Homo-oligomer: A and B are copies of this chain.
Amino acid sequence: MTTRRVNLNTESVDNYLKAIYSLGGTEEERVTSTALSERLGVAPASVTNMLQKLAASPTSFVEYEARRGVRLSAAGRRRALEILRHHRLLEAFLYKVLDYPIEEVHDEAERLEHFISERFEERIDAKLGRPKFDPHGHCIPALDGKMVKRASQPLTAIEIEGHFVVESVSDRDATLLKKLKAHGISPGVHLHVIRSTHDELVLRTGRGSKPLHLPRSVAEAVRIRFTH
């Protein structure tokens, strides 16, 4: 029986690797089938199937043990970061060059990330002046896959009064992004949190504006740093 080697250059494989990467966290923990199933909107059985296929392939992108979850190999991480680079460069490009509204860049990038060539990647990178961050404030991985994850915390973690800078906003929910935009909350903006209750945060943005009441469901989409 010849080991029939499967084709790993597919949109699907890309998406599995990206999902494992982002669910794995900083310490690269094992990711469960259920978590992947939910993230990818695919039945658990389909996940198992794909993980077995990936693990069995000669160029193995993952370490997988049945019932113990999956994590990326070095090659898998490289590939995941390459797609993430495509994604974030595309977002920056759509936002800055093609004047997309911020809440629309993610979905378009999610599709195109799998189909642009290395030349396209290089050209938009050049056009943008080798940007380090995408429009949501997320770090763009370098060509060699290097990426520093900056220290930051969810705005909802704040329980006391204080001054902060918006590090990033979540890119997934367009409705939420529109709300944040309407309130002037975007990466780099200074926030003065006045108080935090069980269901909302009260804060000021910039200077001289009246206090803003932000439901926790909205504040969840914002990550912040302390102003040094």
Contact = CB atoms under 8 A, between A and B. Distances in A.
Interface string A113-155: 0011101100110010000000000000000000000000000
A111 interface: yes
Contacts of A119: 100, 104, 108
A123 B111 contact: no
A56 B111 CA distance: 29
A199 interface: no
Nearest to A116: B112
Contacts of A108: 116-117, 119-120
Interface string A159-199: 00000000000000000000000000000000000000000
Contacts of A117: 108, 111
A contact residues, range? 10 to 19
A116 B113 CA distance: 11
Contacts of A100: 119, 123
A98 B120 contact: yes
Given A111-B115, A115-B112, A123 B104 contact: no
A123 B111 CA distance: 17
A99 interface: yes
Contacts of A112: 112, 115-116
A120 B109 CA distance: 11
Contacts of A123: 98-100
A104 B120 CA distance: 11
A104 B108 CA distance: 23
A127 B115 contact: no
Given A104-B119, A119-B104, A124 B98 contact: yes
21 contacts: A94-B120, A97-B97, A97-B127, A98-B120, A98-B123, A98-B124, A98-B127, A99-B123, A100-B119, A100-B123, A104-B119, A108-B116, A108-B117, A108-B119, A108-B120, A111-B115, A111-B117, A112-B112, A112-B115, A112-B116, A115-B115
